[in-house]
């Protein structure tokens, strides 16, 4: 191969020149697709920047790539967010694979039309193959089509030998294992990974070499299985680049190949896969760069410097931690963060922890050692109980433990030097770390540990940060700065996203925002189907603050007050007065025209209450949970009934019993309620209903119906008990699906039985908050949907877009399907066929 000559690029358009940093779109300004420049066009025909082949032209005509004989590839993208114009305003003049001359017209576009309908006309000219370039007139503000614009740096002209690379480092030779050589797919994986490094990286085959960041250049090497290849790299992260790329090549660049050679196995790969999966902890999506979060190791000396000195040190640190937590609480007053910091503060004066720590101090241990031993051993105890919620408390304890430990050791919390658009990657984030994240810079996060119900997940949702948990450990090997696409809704982290994926996600997000605005504007209107059938939309809440928020979002009442959440993270039981005060405040906020459904304590299973001590159980979900526990401890239930009854008359009061599986449980609870109401001199009982969340209750709904005022279906538990799949199991998350026909049939028969006895049925499980499920639940005859607070406007709008008769048809159809995936697909098709996608209607 002869040394390649510099390549001159001609301006593809006339217009005003801009630097990429000025482009208001991180996909381009981050240079993830490639470096280059931007033209604000004044002409309307995009021309070829050099002679070459059309290597790609989008069907929509908004983007085209041209590749020259040396493998230099230039991508030209007309406008921002123009993909969603779906071709409107663009005329393609060439086809893929066509040879073109420099200056030949490639795409014509109607600038007025595009400018009117897209975000911007700014056009990107990017060197997608990654070669360095120089601007030919660096000070020019404007350019005329056909004028020389930039030149690929002659540094590239060392192609032939590949050995003149100055301080380049070379890998050991390796044998290519891929059966078909580095064809398009493995070459794309290799070039994407290479692009994650700053170093100049080349792939060598005998006397030839190619820019390893260029898909086209790699393919042009025409490698075959058994070729001896080498990687060379020059630049600050050259060693890391070589290590990652050698491993990637040895492992087949995403293709299945025979066992990797020894040398490569020893190295750690940055990524041999392009997609990692996890469980959605907080919905949304983001495109950003990886930032690995690693906490420094803390060094603890066991022996103390005297009991009184160490005692004073511990006391000081605990005090300082309490002050810091108070400050954080004050800053976040009224939010979920504040609640979590309050819980952390309580842990600081937990008598058991302090007793353990002081016991060790009196044995001559240091404050750091004593505090660390007390917190870590208690956290371990929690973890060993096989209970998801206790495991999360262990995370809180570890968080507080570390906070105090740093204060004892005098270690300052150094703020992370976060880059812009950071996607944090960590083994685990603590609630403190999550609550203090700079949302101006952090776009989302991904953790190996954690669960969808953890405090960290709750905080992520409160902060609106998309996040995934339960992702494989491979994620910890990703290089800082690597561009990734986090699609939390689908539970996916894309390690080599292509432009089309990023654009599709951006378009989707834009549409969601527009829809959200429209739904919010109509939030106070009732949810009535197109053919006049009204559905009550109420809120699932766990605090007074959420009740207030739900009312501003159009809630027509509270369909589920999870009373146990009012007192979670408390070491002591709330007094009867405090309980009564809480319920009355909530009832008052709702007023006499709105209904309030208070669920009695649903403790046990995944929800232990610290002040209701329980024996360890082998299967807590199948043990003393919900109403069973309350009937075992009648005083607890009676006290709660009295507190709830104090709010009678302030709202339309309903009491609901959780986890009912036997009719006798309902009878016993009703008797107690009647006795307490009588003792309080109440002439009228509140409405009494049960949750349908155990298959026995669903199957016997016709037997329960005459004895209740209403049913509310808890699809979260109904799904886990029907399918025998733990609702928090990270590996079963995708299968424990409430759309399973088995669950749907139980809902259908419950509604039928209730209506036969003139009783109403709500759904308060998470299924009610799913847009896809709304027509199905309406069609099955559900009367009320009690949904997660932020989704109230969306669910109301979804009801308004449907007709009851259509919903009944689709509901009948999906009951006969075989599995959840088929149900989802049928509902997706129904959604596409029936949703009105016309612009906002004024009504």
DSSP calls for 139-161? T-SEE-TTSEEEEE-GGGTTTTT
Closest distance to ligand PEP from the beta carbon of 569 (Å): 16
Annotation says 253 is catalytic: no
Smaller CB separation from ligand PEP, 304 or 714: 714
Smaller CB separation from ligand PEP, 763 or 810: 763
Asked if 714 and 769 count as a contact pair (C-beta separation under 8 A), the reply is no
Closest distance to ligand PEP from the beta carbon of 560 (Å): 6
**End-to-end Cα, the chain, rounded Å:** 70
Closest distance to Mg ion from the beta carbon of 717 (Å): 4
Segment lying near Mg ion (by CB under 5 A), choices 181-189, 209-217, 690-698, 811-819: 690-698
**Rounded to an integer, what distance in angstroms lies between the CA atom of residue 352 and that of residue 678?**
41
Annotation says 764 is catalytic: yes
Asked if 418 and 399 count as a contact pair (C-beta separation under 8 A), the reply is no
Smaller CB separation from ligand PEP, 367 or 789: 789
* Binding at 556: pick from Mg ion, ligand PEP, none (beta carbon under 5-8 Å per type): none
Smaller CB separation from ligand PEP, 23 or 390: 390
Segment lying near Mg ion (by CB under 5 A), choices 9-17, 434-442, 580-588, 708-716: 708-716
Site string for ligand PEP, 636-675 (x = CB under 6 A): ----------------------------------------
Closest distance to ligand PEP from the beta carbon of 712 (Å): 8
Q: Which residues contact 356 (CB under 8 A, 6 or more apart)?
A: 370, 373, 374, 377, 378
Smaller CB separation from Mg ion, 590 or 718: 718
Closest distance to Mg ion from the beta carbon of 774 (Å): 20
Q: Which of 68, 339, 346, 602 binds ligand PEP (CB under 6 A)?
A: 602
Q: Is 714 in the site for ligand PEP (CB under 6 A)?
A: yes
Closest distance to ligand PEP from the beta carbon of 726 (Å): 13
Smaller CB separation from Mg ion, 70 or 720: 720
Distances, alpha carbon 618 to alpha carbons 452, 740, 768, in Å: 23, 27, 31
Number of residues lying near Mg ion (CB under 5 A): 3
Q: Six-digit token pair at 41?
A: 């066009």
Site for ligand PEP in 320-379 (CB under 6 A): none
Closest distance to ligand PEP from the beta carbon of 335 (Å): 21
Q: Is 714 in the site for Mg ion (CB under 5 A)?
A: yes
Segment lying near Mg ion (by CB under 5 A), choices 85-93, 131-139, 714-722, 774-782: 714-722
* Binding at 715: pick from ligand PEP, Mg ion, none (beta carbon under 5-8 Å per type): ligand PEP
Smaller CB separation from ligand PEP, 254 or 605: 605
CA-based Rg of the chain, rounded to a whole angstrom?
31
Q: Which residues contact 784 (CB under 8 A, 6 or more apart)?
A: 535, 536, 537, 538, 559, 712, 760, 761, 762, 763
Closest distance to ligand PEP from the beta carbon of 588 (Å): 24
**Rounded to an integer, what distance in angstroms lies between the CA atom of residue 152 and that of residue 137?**
14
**Rounded to an integer, what distance in angstroms lies between the CA atom of residue 314 and that of residue 215?**
59
Closest distance to ligand PEP from the beta carbon of 720 (Å): 8
790: left (phi over 0), alpha (psi -120 to 50) or beta: alpha
Smaller CB separation from ligand PEP, 49 or 765: 765
Catalytic residue among 47, 253, 630, 764: 764
**Rounded to an integer, what distance in angstroms lies between the CA atom of residue 467 and that of residue 425?**
10
**Rounded to an integer, what distance in angstroms lies between the CA atom of residue 287 and that of residue 27?**
8
Asked if 373 and 314 count as a contact pair (C-beta separation under 8 A), the reply is no
Asked if 529 and 802 count as a contact pair (C-beta separation under 8 A), the reply is yes
Asked if 672 and 693 count as a contact pair (C-beta separation under 8 A), the reply is no
Q: Six-digit token pair at 737?
A: 């699906």
Segment lying near ligand PEP (by CB under 6 A), choices 25-33, 117-125, 194-202, 713-721: 713-721
Q: Is 196 in the site for ligand PEP (CB under 6 A)?
A: no
Closest distance to ligand PEP from the beta carbon of 539 (Å): 12
Handedness of CA 820, 825, 826, 831 (dihedral sign): positive
Closest distance to Mg ion from the beta carbon of 628 (Å): 13
Catalytic residue among 77, 344, 455, 494: 455
Site string for Mg ion, 636-675 (x = CB under 5 A): ----------------------------------------
Smaller CB separation from Mg ion, 107 or 692: 692
Closest distance to ligand PEP from the beta carbon of 457 (Å): 14
Q: Which of 36, 765, 779, 781 binds ligand PEP (CB under 6 A)?
A: 765
Question: Residue 607 carries which DSSP code?
Answer: B
Site for ligand PEP in 682-711 (CB under 6 A): 693
DSSP calls for 216-271? HHHHHT---TT-EEEEEEESTTHHHHHHHHHHHHHTTTTS--SPPPHHHHHSPPS-
Closest distance to Mg ion from the beta carbon of 599 (Å): 9
Smaller CB separation from ligand PEP, 396 or 602: 602
Q: Which of 717, 728, 784, 806 binds ligand PEP (CB under 6 A)?
A: 717
Site for ligand PEP in 783-822 (CB under 6 A): none
Q: Which of 564, 665, 717, 770 binds Mg ion (CB under 5 A)?
A: 717
Q: Is 728 in the site for Mg ion (CB under 5 A)?
A: no
Site string for Mg ion, 37-76 (x = CB under 5 A): ----------------------------------------
Q: Which of 393, 562, 800, 802 binds ligand PEP (CB under 6 A)?
A: 562
Say how many residues make up the chain.
Answer: 843
Q: Is 605 in the site for Mg ion (CB under 5 A)?
A: no
DSSP calls for 468-526? EES--GGGGGSPTT-EEEEEGGGTEEESS--HHHHHHHHHHHHHHHHHHHHHHHTTTS-
Asked if 53 and 97 count as a contact pair (C-beta separation under 8 A), the reply is yes
Number of residues lying near ligand PEP (CB under 6 A): 10
Q: Which of 55, 73, 715, 769 binds ligand PEP (CB under 6 A)?
A: 715
35: helix, strand or coil? strand
Smaller CB separation from ligand PEP, 192 or 712: 712
Q: How many other C-beta atoms lie within 10 A of the C-beta of residue 396?
A: 23
Q: Is 483 in the site for ligand PEP (CB under 6 A)?
A: no
Question: Residue 431 carries which DSSP code?
Answer: H
DSSP calls for 267-332? SPPS-S-SEEE-EEEE--EEEEEEEE--PPPPP--SB-S-HHHHHHHHHHHHHHHHHHHHHHHHHT
Beta strands in 660-775, from DSSP E residues, in sequence order: 687-692, 710-713, 760-763
Smaller CB separation from ligand PEP, 288 or 762: 762
> Distance between alpha carbon 681 and the CA centroid of its chain, in Å?
50
What strands lie across the sheet with 15-19, from one edge to the other? 99-100, 52-57, 63-67, 73-77, 123-127, 35-41, 15-19, 142-143
Site for Mg ion in 399-438 (CB under 5 A): none
- Nearest Cα residue to 126 out of 43, 64, 47, 191: 64
Segment lying near ligand PEP (by CB under 6 A), choices 204-212, 318-326, 547-555, 714-722: 714-722
Query: Which residues bind to Mg ion, rule: CB under 5 A?
Result: 693, 714, 717
Query: Which residues bind to ligand PEP, rule: CB under 6 A?
Result: 560, 562, 602, 693, 714-717, 764-765
Q: Which residues are catalytic?
A: 455, 764
């Amino acid at each position: 191969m002869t040394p390649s000559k510099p390549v001159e690029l001609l301006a593809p358009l006339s217009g005003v020149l801009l630097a990429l940093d000025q482009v208001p779109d991180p996909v381009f300004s981050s240079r993830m697709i490639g470096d280059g420049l931007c033209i604000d066009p004044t002409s309307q025909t995009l021309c070829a920047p050099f002679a070459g082949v059309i290597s790609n032209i989008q069907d929509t005509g908004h983007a085209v790539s041209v590749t020259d004989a040396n493998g230099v590839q230039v991508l030209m993208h007309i406008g921002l967010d123009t993909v969603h114009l779906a071709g409107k305003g663009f005329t393609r003049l060439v086809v893929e694979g066509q040879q073109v001359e420099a200056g030949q017209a490639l795409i014509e576009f109607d600038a007025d039309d595009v400018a009117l309908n897209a975000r911007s006309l700014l056009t990107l000219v990017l060197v997608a193959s990654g070669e360095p370039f120089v601007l030919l007139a660096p000070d020019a503000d404007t350019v005329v089509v056909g004028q020389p614009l930039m030149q690929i740096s002659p540094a590239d002209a060392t192609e032939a030998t590949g050995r003149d690379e100055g301080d380049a480092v070379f890998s050991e030779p390796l044998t290519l294992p891929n059966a078909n050589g580095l064809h398009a797919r493995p070459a794309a994986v290799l070039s994407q990974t290479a692009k994650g490094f700053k170093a100049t990286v080349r792939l060598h085959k005998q006397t030839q070499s190619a820019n390893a960041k260029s898909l086209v250049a790699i393919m042009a090497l025409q490698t075959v299985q058994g070729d001896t290849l080498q990687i060379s790299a020059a630049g600050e992260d050259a060693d890391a680049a070589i290590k990652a790329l050698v491993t990637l090549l040895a492992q087949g660049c995403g293709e299945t190949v025979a066992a990797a050679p020894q040398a490569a196995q020893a190295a750690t790969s940055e990524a041999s896969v392009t997609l990692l999966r996890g469980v959605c902890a907080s919905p949304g999506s983001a495109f950003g760069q990886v930032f690995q979060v690693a906490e420094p190791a803390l060094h603890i000396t066991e022996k103390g410097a005297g009991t009184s000195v160490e005692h004073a040190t511990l006391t000081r640190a605990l005090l300082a931690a309490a002050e810091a937590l108070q400050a954080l609480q004050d800053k976040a007053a009224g939010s979920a963060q504040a609640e979590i910091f309050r819980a952390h503060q309580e842990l600081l004066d937990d008598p058991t922890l302090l007793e353990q720590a002081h016991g060790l101090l009196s044995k001559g241990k240091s404050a750091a050692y004593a505090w660390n031993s007390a917190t870590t051993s208690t956290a371990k105890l929690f973890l060993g109980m096989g209970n998801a919620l206790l495991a999360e408390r262990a995370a809180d304890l570890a968080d507080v433990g570390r906070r105090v430990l740093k204060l004892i050791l005098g270690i300052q919390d150094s703020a992370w030097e976060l880059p812009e658009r950071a996607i944090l990657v960590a083994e685990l984030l603590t609630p403190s770390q999550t609550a203090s994240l700079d949302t101006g810079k952090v776009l989302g996060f991904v953790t190996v540990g954690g669960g969808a119900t953890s405090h960290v997940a709750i905080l992520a949702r409160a902060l609106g940060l998309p996040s995934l948990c339960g992702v494989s450990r491979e994620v910890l090997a990703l290089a800082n700065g690597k561009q990734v696409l986090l699609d939390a809704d689908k539970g996916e982290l894309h390690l080599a996203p292509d432009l089309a994926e990023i654009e599709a996600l951006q378009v989707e997000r834009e549409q969601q925002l527009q829809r959200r605005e429209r739904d919010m504007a109509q939030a106070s209107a009732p949810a009535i189907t197109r053919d006049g059938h009204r559905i009550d939309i109420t809120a699932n809440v766990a605090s007074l603050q959420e009740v207030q928020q739900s009312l501003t979002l159009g809630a027509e009442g509270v369909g589920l007050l999870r009373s146990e959440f009012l007192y979670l993270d408390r070491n002591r039981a709330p007094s009867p007065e405090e309980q009564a005060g809480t319920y009355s405040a909530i009832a008052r906020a709702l007023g006499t025209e709105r209904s309030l459904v208070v669920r009695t304590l649903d403790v046990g299973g995944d929800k232990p209450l610290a002040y209701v001590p329980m024996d360890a159980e082998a299967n807590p979900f199948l043990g003393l949970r919900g109403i069973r526990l309350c009937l075992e401890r009648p005083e607890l239930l009676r006290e709660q009934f009295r507190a709830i009854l104090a709010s009678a008359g302030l709202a339309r009061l309903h009491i609901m019993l959780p986890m009912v599986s036997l009719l006798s449980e309902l009878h016993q609870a009703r008797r107690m309620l009647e006795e307490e109401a009588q003792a309080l001199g109440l002439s009228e009982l509140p409405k009494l209903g049960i949750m349908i969340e155990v298959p026995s209750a669903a199957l016997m709904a016709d037997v329960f119906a005459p004895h209740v005022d209403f049913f509310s279906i808890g699809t979260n538990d109904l799904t886990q008990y029907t399918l025998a799949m733990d609702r928090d199991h990270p590996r079963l998350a995708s299968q424990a699906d409430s759309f399973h026909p088995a669950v749907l049939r139980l809902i259908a028969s419950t509604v039928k039985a209730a209506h036969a006895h003139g009783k109403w049925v709500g759904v308060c499980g998470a299924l009610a908050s799913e847009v896809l499920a709304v027509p199905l639940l309406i069609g099955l005859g559900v009367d009320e949907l009690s949904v997660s607070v932020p989704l109230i406007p969306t669910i109301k709008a979804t009801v308004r877009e449907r007709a009851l008769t259509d919903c009944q048809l689709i509901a009948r159809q999906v009951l006969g399907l075989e599995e959840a995936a088929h149900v989802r697909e049928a509902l997706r098709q129904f959604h596409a066929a029936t949703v009105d996608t016309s612009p906002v209607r004024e009504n």
